[in-house]
Structure 1
């Protein structure tokens, strides 16, 4: 005798699967035979099948369209990678601030151990740590990269909300590589990395808000590992240039950067001005 469990009763799930053509051959035959014996259910199934065919006809053009770029696997993967990279940068910025504070504490500890007064932390001490993370060695992937300074200036200006100067250091043999943004207690800081044209020496230009700091001229600070920082303030921001270069060479580069900042952003090239001009309209009559 056949076990009833081998052929469970026909239910609503079977009818909908029959309409959607998702039954295996054996179950399809059982449902079809059952419908032959139940004309009311068969009529309802035919109505559902008609609705299915109508929907397929209406949606066929949409189904034939290519998959939107935002839904493609490569685009989704790229978005996930970008999200992970943003999380990593935020963590790196937090570590930068922590290390900056720890460095200042270590300097204070040395002064107390020697029995003297606690020395003041070097101005723009965080610039050297930003150089270590983003410029020294292999560095980290840039949030923005450019072949010329103007591209980075536009990118930083858009994100900081005010004009930013990226110094042109080609005369000193350095070209810009990229830029990073990072949070600081005063707001948002930026570091622009440079690479020597002939060699692998890296240099960084760092700026951050400093509205409560009066203007100060260039000041030099030596760091462990051979790095040297020249920093200055203009009453609105603090700036620093850091590299593993002799003081005599880096001083000239720092003066060039300071002059570029003082001069302000360069006007856009003439061809860009022409492109931005409104297209004249032809008058008729």
Structure 2
């Protein structure tokens, strides 16, 4: 009989208290005999506690499922597995032609990567619904206060956009974790309750795109890079009240 060896999914489920009694007992026996696996579980537990601590400021019942630590870990793990599978699929191409293989790899991955998709997701989480204002870290309409708040966290960042001439004022801001590092979003609203999100984050190790805009479902994401960070403005597409802002923010103009 083969000795029991837990999979990575077993270890994550163990940390999330999602194993049955028998499987949990097997995992605990394995951990007691394998210090390296026990160290991994300890690391996963610390990550879970850090995520929980980051969400402590959000009232109970106001947290979207996308912010649940177990959900975040599962999503990142699945995303990593997809990337590994994608990379493996290019090994054959490299064996046929080193240059052609890497060109195909680059083209294929670029076709799958959507620039600033995390900005659009931030809009969906924080700019919609009745609980959005309960989830911000800073509630203010003062652009100077917002700029000071951002400058303490992002060195040499761009000035916060002022959309008052279009009828939109800031109402709050929030720090978030992204795969590329710490990100921030500033939420703007007009008198009708329509929302715009200004989003910024470091570039990370993914493709260093320049500037552009794209539609993601009902949202328009306009993005650019300046200095040390990537920036985006996300707003609903096809709404007349937002068209002047979208024209002004069009990164392809300048």
Distance in 2, matches of 1:180 and 1:99, equals 21
From 98, 103, 116, the counterpart of 1:124: 116
Is the Cα–Cα contact under 8 Å of residues 177 and 194 in structure 1 kept in the other structure?
yes
Which residue in 2 is equivalent to 1:241?
A: 233
Which residue in 2 is equivalent to 1:229?
A: 221
Distance in 2, matches of 1:134 and 1:221, equals 20
Which residue in 2 is equivalent to 1:92?
A: 67
Aligned residues: 170
Is the Cα–Cα contact under 8 Å of residues 229 and 241 in structure 1 kept in the other structure?
yes
Question: Over alpha carbons, which structure has the higher Rg?
Answer: 1
From 111, 128, 144, the counterpart of 1:150: 144
Change (3 A) 1:83 1:98: closer
Distance in 1, matches of 2:232 and 2:239, equals 14
Which residue in 1 is equivalent to 2:200?
A: 207
Q: Secondary structure at the match of 1:194?
A: strand
Which residue in 2 is equivalent to 1:187?
A: 181
Q: Does 1:196 align with 2:190?
A: yes
Structure 1 segments unaligned to the other structure (5+ residues): 1-80, 110-116, 263-285
Q: Does 1:170 align with 2:145?
A: no
Q: Any runs of at least 4 consecutive aligned residues in structure 1 with deviations exceeding 6 A, and if so which? A: 86-89, 100-105
Is the Cα–Cα contact under 8 Å of residues 167 and 257 in structure 1 kept in the other structure?
no
Change (3 A) 1:125 1:163: closer
Distance in 1, matches of 2:189 and 2:72, equals 22
Q: How much does 1:238 deviate?
A: 0.9
TM-score by length of 2: 0.53
Structure 2 segments unaligned to the other structure (5+ residues): 1-52, 87-107
Distance in 2, matches of 1:125 and 1:101, equals 18
Distance in 2, matches of 1:206 and 1:100, equals 21
Change (3 A) 1:240 1:149: same
Distance in 2, matches of 1:98 and 1:255, equals 38
Change (3 A) 1:167 1:97: farther
Distance in 1, matches of 2:147 and 2:73, equals 25
Q: How much does 1:185 deviate?
A: 3.2
Distance in 2, matches of 1:96 and 1:243, equals 25
Is the Cα–Cα contact under 8 Å of residues 228 and 242 in structure 1 kept in the other structure?
yes
Q: How much does 1:252 deviate?
A: 4.5
TM-score by length of 1: 0.48
Distance in 2, matches of 1:215 and 1:249, equals 29
Is the Cα–Cα contact under 8 Å of residues 172 and 253 in structure 1 kept in the other structure?
yes
Is the Cα–Cα contact under 8 Å of residues 96 and 126 in structure 1 kept in the other structure?
no
Q: Secondary structure at the match of 1:160?
A: coil
